[in-house]
Structure 1
Amino acid sequence: MVTIYHNNKCSKSRQTLELLREKGVELQVVEYLKDTPSAEQLKAVLHKLGLQPEQVLRKGEQVYRENFAAKSFTDEEWLQIMADNPILIERPIVVKGDKAAIGRPPEKVLEIL
């Protein structure tokens, strides 16, 4: 089973979802703005990505610029900030087993299938 953390308003997320469906991949779609992962779930996904929380932040988002830019937080604090403000999570993220990839570009996720 493959999980995609998806935002339907994001063109890259829609393209990645379409690519996976075209490949016949069995999917669990998590609309993470509605069904937000916890800080612990985010930590597990980031471990699979091999990235730190700050590396998957959408720093162009207004909420980031207004509340978090130029401030320093621990990884644990960033995880909670992302859980509280899921719009800040880079998208889409695709997880299969112990591997994960960010769909930028969408074809990048094929590496973990």
Structure 2
Amino acid sequence: MIRVYHNPRCTKSREALAYLDEKGLEYEVVEYMKEPLTPMDLESVLEALDMSAEDLIRTNESVWKDDFKGKELDEDELILAMIEHPKLMQRPIVLNAGKAVVARPAEEIEKVL
């Protein structure tokens, strides 16, 4: 089953869902802003993305600039920052069969189908 880590307030995230709907694909939506991921969940997502926590962080967010920018943070600390402040995560993330992409643009989803 395709899983989409989705923020309903994000245009790109809504576009990813529309893309999947247009393709007629079934998927599960995880609204990670309401139900933050656990550290283990996020580690699994990062592994599927084949990316580091640093690469998944939205560095233009004010919480990043105010609380974290310029600090030396290791992988675990970056993961905990995204757990505590889920809006720091790039979005949307589409996971399927152990592979994942940040679906911007939505056509990136093809890489995991």
TM-score with structure 1 setting the length: 0.97
The offset of 1:73, in angstroms, is 0.7
The offset of 1:111, in angstroms, is 1.3
The runs of at least 4 aligned residues of structure 1 exceeding 4 Å deviation read none
Q: Which residue of 2 aligns with 1:95?
A: 95
CA contact (8 A) 2:8 2:14 kept: yes
Consecutive unaligned residues of structure 1, counting only runs of 5 or more, are none
Secondary structure of 2:36's match? Answer: coil
For 1:47-86, what aligned pairs fall within 5 Å after superposition?
47-86=47-86
Q: Which residue of 1 aligns with 2:20?
A: 20
Alpha-carbon distance in 2 for matches of 1:34, 1:62: 19
Alpha-carbon distance in 2 for matches of 1:98, 1:30: 16
What letter corresponds to residue 73 of structure 1 in structure 2? L
Alpha-carbon distance in 2 for matches of 1:35, 1:63: 19
CA RMSD between the two structures = 0.7
Q: Which residue of 2 aligns with 1:35?
A: 35
Secondary structure of 2:5's match? Answer: strand
- Of all paired residues, the percent bearing the same amino acid is 38
Q: Deviations over 1:41-80 (max 9, x none)?
A: 0000000000000001001111000000111111011111
Alpha-carbon distance in 1 for matches of 2:87, 2:7: 9
TM-score with structure 2 setting the length: 0.97
Alpha-carbon distance in 2 for matches of 1:100, 1:39: 17
